A and B are shown apart, each in its own frame.
Chain A
Amino acid sequence: MSFVYPAGLWALLGVLALLAAHFIRRRYAQRTVPSAYLWRLSERFLMRMEPARRARRAILLALQVLCLVLCALLIAQPLVVMPGAQTAYVAVLDASGSMQITDAAGETRFARACRAIEKDAAALPWGSRVSVVLAGDEARLAVEDTTPGAALHRALDTLVCDWGAGDLSGAMAICGDLLASGGASQVCLYTDRDVEASGSLSAVSARSAEEWNVCLSPVTAERTGQGMRLRAQLTGTGRDADVLLGVLVDGAAPDAGDVTVTVGGEAQDGLLVHLADGETAEVSVLVAGMKPESSAVLSVQVQDGLLQDNEVRFCGRPSGSTRVLLTGGSTYFLRKALSVFGEVSLECAEACEDPVPAGYDLYIYDGCMPGTLPEDGAVFLIDPPAAPEDSGVVLGETLLGASISAESGLPDGELSALTANLTLREASAARFREVVSCGRMTPVLRCGEMPLLLAGRTAGGGALLLLACDIQETNLPLTADFVALLGNALDFCAPQPLEAQQYLCGDAPALRRMASCGTLYLQNADRSIREVGAQETQLTLRDPGAYALMAQLADGRERLFSFAVHMPPEEGTDAAEPAVLHLGAPNAQALAARERHMPATGILAALLLLLVTVEWMVDERERV
């Protein structure tokens, strides 16, 4: 027998201390009584009542010594060879959204897989250990080295299935590590996907023959002259079905005359659609008179195995205007261009005021610049007399112009978005200011080789744009690029909190905050509302449904950004490609080493508990 901490055996010295304490404790207290006659008499009675009384103290001492020895062994942690061939069984449990499909009896694939794990674990040899890797939105080792039976059942009961696509590759990586470290000898994947397993991996299907499901893919919207056209794909699996389509616009059903439904290119008389098993139909719904800012819900009304993929949403343009303060003497072109954006609330001023007015999302200064830049919003400086002090930018002489081009090699993200949708085919500037040093700002547009448009951040954290030329000295206002550039600048300076309005379960989109944005609240799919902490840079979207981000702006205004989270369409259709998964052979050496040295702490602890209980029971009889 070997020990993990042999030094723990020094605790056996405690036995000597216990024996010493025992005999010291036996010192009698002298008590004088009127007459010892009755005590002598009672001693005879006592001997008759409890013949083994004298042995009890010896038994107690022996039990205490045994307890102490067990404690010393527990500290030293002996390693013993366990009989039988143990198995380190690893179950990979697919926790993707499709595992929540229920069969006719109401049992989900996930529950069926859990049951299968318990059954397979129960058949393992005695002493085997079971681990469970949960392949949800993020793969993780959810249950580590537990025993089959009640412990495994309790652990499986705590696991929850996600709605996104399962991270099977992550789960395989964890299993690979376990195989290499000797923590796994068998790996079995419990999933509803078609899997070609090889190597140490085996697969168990969690599907049932009694399942059927109808799935709608996320909706796309297209603005037409008559209204909005919503498109989605409808897929049925398991059996043929007649499904009833439902359309809601801004929470209400539109007039029947305003809705035109086309399935597979053929116009439908009503909203009832026949769907064959395995068939995917293109559904197009034209809603006359629907505005881009309206929201729509497209649904199929059917009681199938998974209700969460029977409804998809289109979220309309976000509500709430962007307040822009435009300061400058000749701002005609800018005012005209900004009026194109319906969500912009524009105010104009002739000259810079002191103190700087507050409460705007974007401050545009054309040909002028305040002494102190506002910190509660984004700033767009056009042909400023000087560069902001803390930007590090140095402006030089006025140079003769050249053609305008976009900066190449911009990283993906908000900077590259500034040049999105720009053609800049014939854009040029007659004159511009030389940018001697860019400081902490990044060139986005160039005039010839010289930086023309720079992007950075103000001291307050807001966006800062600097255009080093007078707009009237360029031909930009004559091109479509001008509106596109202003639109990009608006998006950069006063961005929507999320990039898109539709996401899939498991996505974690980056959160974009305006400088003027105060507290941000998130309404979840279950209608619960929580405050989004200032440190959160991205949202983790797990449940399908309608979400909303509400921003409380500094000046008291509110902005509402609605977005929808859908299940990945392949989760509802079982249409995913068969996964080819392979795991290498287990590390036999590490596995053997681990099996030989099973710590006996559990047995020792149980023995200790038993002894303490017996000692307590014996001692209790003595206690007065």
Chain B
Amino acid sequence: MSAKRNLLDAAFLQTLEAIDLYVHQPENGQGSGLRRSRAYGSSTEFADYRDYAPGDDLRRIDWNLAGRFDRYYIRRFHDEKQGRHCIYIDQSASMGMDEAKATAALQLAAALGYLAVSNMDAVSFRLLRGDRCAELCGWVAGRERFYAAVRQMEALDFGGDTDLGAALRDDRHPGYDDGMSFILSDFLTDSDWKGAADALLARRRECALVQVLSPEEAEPSLSGPCRIIDAERGGAALSMDVDRSARRAYREAVRWFQEEIRRFCVSRGMALLTMRSDEPVGDALLKRGFAEGLIR
């Protein structure tokens, strides 16, 4: 169990009050909320007319049109639904080896959750560990339950090897066309997480990838002959003389890897937010979140 973290403070929450998640129109939201749905409902926002059919509510007949065309038309309004967002948190050892990285990832998850509940949406924090997906505390709607969830997140610990693709597929209730799915991870895995993300898209979920890297991962400080051990899997992964050329190759690999994720996101119309754990979460969210169309 790691030391308890302080994920949200008042100043940061005040900043978040001014922004909202950019969610497209969900069709299958549950209950009423503030998200305009593609389905017709009972909001005040006019959507369309249709011919009157027996059984329709007479209060919805547009009498002005009836007087002009001598036909009855029923006014239809947009429905406003509650979005249901899933935030998947990679709970592998690679995310928790650097405490700053774990904290940054959880802060970002909490911030996204707060944006959801503050706009009348429901959010569910789901933990990806091994090849399993587990809910942190079920659906969270309303700030009281959100703060309770955040307290649980503050005590969250990381460890083990996560098969990101398998764990995402293990989610039994990923939802269907009712909100967004955020995947928070470093994506430093050979697992087929892209297939899992495609599966979420197939369920008409809006997906966003959030990649968190520590400074050590972006610019390693290793030098000399090293036997490199993977924190997730244990055992020697490879032996290498880390010299100037090796560092240059590493930087090339990081750049290529990030480009690869971006290409995938662009091809799927997914948002991508990349941040380093040594930068403030607010800065990353506000500056790049707007640019990526994640928030508005």
The chain A residues found within 8 Å of chain B, CB to CB, are: 26-46, 49-50, 53, 57, 621-624
Sample 8 A-B pairs with CB under 8 A, ordered by A number.
Answer: A28-B239, A32-B231, A34-B98, A37-B189, A38-B217, A45-B252, A53-B245, A624-B243
- Known contacts A28-B225, A623-B244, A33 near B256 by CB under 8 Å: no
Lowest 8 A-B CB distances belong to which pairs? A36-B237, A35-B188, A46-B249, A42-B253, A34-B94, A36-B230, A42-B250, A41-B253
Chain A: which residue is nearest B227 at the CB level?
A28
- Known contacts A42-B249, A43-B249, A53-B245, A31 near B228 by CB under 8 Å: yes
Residue numbers in B under 8 Å from A32 (CB-CB):
97, 229-231
Residue-wise interface mask of B (241-261) relative to A, using a CB-CB cutoff of 8 A (1 in contact, 0 not)? 111111111101110110000
* Contact of B256 with A45 in the complex, beta carbons under 8 Å: yes
* Contact of B188 with A38 in the complex, beta carbons under 8 Å: yes
* Contact of A46 with B246 in the complex, beta carbons under 8 Å: yes
- Known contacts A41-B257, A42-B249, A49-B249, A621 near B244 by CB under 8 Å: yes
* Contact of A34 with B186 in the complex, beta carbons under 8 Å: yes
Residue numbers in B under 8 Å from A35 (CB-CB):
94, 186, 188-189, 217, 230-232
Of A26, A34, A38, A50, which is within 8 A of B250 by CB? A38
* Contact of A33 with B220 in the complex, beta carbons under 8 Å: yes
Residue numbers in B under 8 Å from A622 (CB-CB):
241, 243-245
Chain B: which residue is nearest A620 at the CB level?
B244
* Contact of B226 with A29 in the complex, beta carbons under 8 Å: yes
Of B93, B190, B250, B256, which is within 8 A of A39 by CB? B250
State which residues 213-230 of B face A: CB under 8 Å: 214, 216-217, 220, 222-230
B106 to chain A, nearest CB (A): 16
A50 to chain B, nearest CB (A): 6
* Contact of B243 with A623 in the complex, beta carbons under 8 Å: yes
Residue B10 lies at the interface, judged by CB distance under 8 Å to chain A:
no
For the complex, what is the distance from the CA of A44 to the CA of B253, rounded to whole Å?
Answer: 9
For the complex, what is the distance from the CA of A29 to the CA of B225, rounded to whole Å?
Answer: 6
* Contact of A43 with B188 in the complex, beta carbons under 8 Å: no
B188 to chain A, nearest CB (A): 4
For the complex, what is the distance from the CA of A622 to the CA of B240, rounded to whole Å?
Answer: 12
Chain A: which residue is nearest B95 at the CB level?
A34
* Contact of A38 with B245 in the complex, beta carbons under 8 Å: no
For the complex, what is the distance from the CA of A37 to the CA of B230, rounded to whole Å?
Answer: 8
* Contact of A37 with B190 in the complex, beta carbons under 8 Å: yes
For the complex, what is the distance from the CA of A33 to the CA of B213, rounded to whole Å?
Answer: 12
* Contact of B254 with A38 in the complex, beta carbons under 8 Å: yes
- Known contacts A41-B257, A43-B249, A34 near B214 by CB under 8 Å: yes
* Contact of A34 with B217 in the complex, beta carbons under 8 Å: yes
Chain B: which residue is nearest A33 at the CB level?
B228
Residue numbers in A under 8 Å from B11 (CB-CB):
none
* Contact of A39 with B240 in the complex, beta carbons under 8 Å: yes
- Known contacts A46-B245, A622-B244, A39 near B237 by CB under 8 Å: yes
For the complex, what is the distance from the CA of A624 to the CA of B236, rounded to whole Å?
Answer: 23
Chain A: which residue is nearest B223 at the CB level?
A624
A28 to chain B, nearest CB (A): 4
Residue numbers in B under 8 Å from A29 (CB-CB):
224-227
Chain B: which residue is nearest A27 at the CB level?
B225
- Known contacts A30-B227, A623-B244, A38 near B249 by CB under 8 Å: no
For the complex, what is the distance from the CA of A37 to the CA of B190, rounded to whole Å?
Answer: 8
B161 to chain A, nearest CB (A): 10
Residue numbers in B under 8 Å from A624 (CB-CB):
223-224, 242-244, 247
Residue B18 lies at the interface, judged by CB distance under 8 Å to chain A:
no
